[in-house]
Structure 1
Amino acid sequence: MINRTVIVGRLVADPELRYTPNGIASCKFRVAVNRPFKNEGEQQADFISCVAWRKQAENLANFMKKGNLIGLEGRIQTGSYEGQDGKKIYTTDVVADSIQFLEPRNSTGSTQNTPNYQSSTNTGGMYQGSSQGQYGGNTQPNYSRVDEDPFANSKGPIEVSEDDLPFD
């Protein structure tokens, strides 16, 4: 079974940072994502509710605001609670495991050609193992982008003989 989602969109409003009674940071936010089709020349969008935990939540609230372009990877989580009128209310959220800030901090919803490859990895979540508790740590590798040219120091073209090729 697989429960993974990848979203790239703009923040609908400033992220809402809160803390649990145990002092764990939680950030609720919504992301607007354009649909791949247009309805009578009008672009439609989905507004997806998301949540981030711990340091990732704090980073999102401190560095991003309404209109900023972000990318996130996570899982869909459903739940329910009883509303004030006694009716059961169902929820669907994307729990972010990793968030990428895709614009510079000083940009507000404008399209920039220079992405800001900041990222953070979630160390919380509900399915992380019983020894860690409900919001225990699941450390994932954080990969950095390297723009080094492996052929920068070579002197001239690389020669390849017909015998080195894997096909006929």
Structure 2
Amino acid sequence: MLNKVILMGRLCADPDFRQTPSGVAVCRIRLAIDRRFTNKQTGEREADFINVSCWRQQAEFVSRYFHKGSMIIVEGSLRNNDYTDQNGVKHYSMEVLADNVTFGESKRSAQENGGGYQGAYQQPAYAQPAPAQSAPAYQQPAAQPAPQAPAANNAPGAMQLGDLGDFEEILSDGEVPF
């Protein structure tokens, strides 16, 4: 039985991107996740620190668009990584194996908080189909950039709003046409 989790937190450090000897991309990150309550003695919020492993396209995506301080949302499975070292001492650890990763804040908000994105806003589409998976119980919409004035950014690939006058209002009597 898999333990599905959804996490939202900030990266504690830049992603650690590597490749296996066979060339498979892997990226390890550590998230700081604020607890919902404050410490009664100090009055401050405490945080939990969670290790996350991303593989293949997710690894490339995380290493390209996230860095220390970035807010990130991770959907994945909780994995137990217990082991016994050479001295016979048992070590216990848990990590999340990421299934889906997305931005946790808008580009503008990230820049205001000192996080900022280093490039595009959305996860790149890959030509290879993803393996079949059951749909997650919770679907977080992808963060969208704030609209900009038409002349403000003429960079290639910049998102701009077009003329909405070409659309026609559809009046409905309550029935859905499909």
- Whether TM exceeds 0.5 here: the answer is yes
1:1-168 matches, within 5 Å, as 1=1, 3-40=3-40, 41-83=43-85, 85-101=87-103, 102-104=105-107, 107=111, 109-110=113-114, 118-119=122-123, 138-139=131-132, 153-154=168-169
| Higher relative strand content | 1
Alpha-carbon displacement from aligned partner over 1:92-143 (angstroms, at most 9, x marks no partner): 100110000234397384488xxx862479xxxxxxxxxxxxxxx6245898
CA contact (8 A) 2:68 2:115 kept: no
Secondary structure, aligned partner of 1:31: strand
Conservation of the 8 A alpha-carbon contact between 1:52 and 1:96: yes
Two-structure CA RMSD over aligned residues (Å): 3.6
Question: Structure 1: 5+ residue runs without aligned partners?
Answer: 122-136
* 75-84 or 43-52: bigger deviation: 75-84
Q: TM-score, normalised by structure 2?
A: 0.62
Matched length: 138
**Aligned letter for 2:37?**
F
- TM-score normalised by structure 1 residue count: 0.65
Q: Which residue of 2 aligns with 1:129?
A: none
Structure 1 segments, 4+ long, off by >6 Å, are 141-146
**What is the DSSP-based 3-state SS (H/G/I as helix, E as strand, rest coil) of the residue aligned with 2:169?**
coil
Quick one: which amino acid aligns to residue 85 of structure 2?
Answer: G
State how far apart, in whole Å, the 2-side matches of 1:86 and 1:24 are: 31
Percent of pairs with identical residues: 35
TM-superposed deviation, 1:83? 2.9
User: Residues 122 and 143 of structure 2 are in contact (CA less than 8 Å); yes or no, is this contact kept in structure 1?
Assistant: no
